[in-house]
Amino acid sequence: MGIKAISFDFWHTLFTEQPGAFLLYKERRRNLLSEAVLSCREVAHAELEHACHLEAESHNSIWREQHRTLAASERVINILTRLDVSIPDTAIAGLVANFEEGILEHPPVLVDGARDVLQSLSGRYRLGIISDVGFSPGRVLKRVLADHDLLGLFDSLVFSDEAGRAKPHFEVFECTARALLAKPEEIVHIGDLEHTDIVGAKRAGYHAIRFTGVTPMAENETTIADFVTDDFRDVARLIERLG
């Protein structure tokens, strides 16, 4: 049975941050928080850092153990709660919007070769994205895709904030298979993380290719992926081998 559809991870598979952008995003959020809470009280830098660190640890724990990601609004409120700060709802809404859209100031860039590969695959397979999100929700990542003239290539877009589940949960892969009009064994998923992309795809009955061009495998790490490549231009050839 041949491959009829392909799903991709977004972060560190199709797109990655510009050099230094991750730290810029982080610093921007800290500055926004400092400004927002000034009306209540002045918060020391170390206190703010600690609250953000604890929130990030909590979010990552929920992501890994419960297979879901918190909305930016929940995360912002969690940080404010840890700081014991109460600000007006309008201020919270503005803070959330700024958190969500922060990546647009230094937008992610396409991985080398991704555009050509996507365009070459588009006419031959149905394409989808299965992506877990951080502060930037699906609506913002769709804008990134649109800004790169890629949005129209995809038949299915499943983002964890919209789906209510995150990889490796079965539901996101099952939903994608329905949207792509293919059986799991007719789909290959391409992603960079073993515990979410590869494990989730294989458990759902998909084939899987691990892309290590942005996120290298750790020393002595193993994988259950069908193939591994650090060159996105290799993807089309590997999919043909699976077919």
For residue range 93-103, what is the model confidence (pLDDT) as tens digits?
A: 999 999 999 99
Question: Does residue 125 contact residue 4 with C-beta atoms inside 8 Å?
Answer: yes
The pLDDT value recorded for residue 45 is: 85
Angle between helices 72-82 and 45-66 (to 10 degrees): 130
The pLDDT value recorded for residue 1 is: 63
Residue 198, token pair as written in the block:
């590869």
Average pLDDT over residues 188-210: 98
The pLDDT value recorded for residue 125 is: 97
SS3 119: helix
The pLDDT value recorded for residue 63 is: 94
Average pLDDT over residues 102-127: 96
Residue 152, token pair as written in the block:
């129209």
**34-43, 79-88, 114-123, range with greatest mean pLDDT:** 114-123
Query: In the predicted model, is pLDDT for residue 124 greater than 90?
Result: yes
SS3 189: strand
CA distance 132 to 214: 17
Query: In the predicted model, is pLDDT for residue 243 greater than 80?
Result: no
- The verdict on pTM exceeding 0.95 is no
Q: Report the helix count and the strand count for the chain, using DSSP H and E.
A: 10, 8
User: CA–CA distance from 226 to each of 164, 229, 235 (Å)?
Assistant: 28, 10, 12
Average pLDDT over residues 159-185: 97
- Higher local confidence (pLDDT), 44 or 129: 129
Query: In the predicted model, is pLDDT for residue 199 greater than 70?
Result: yes
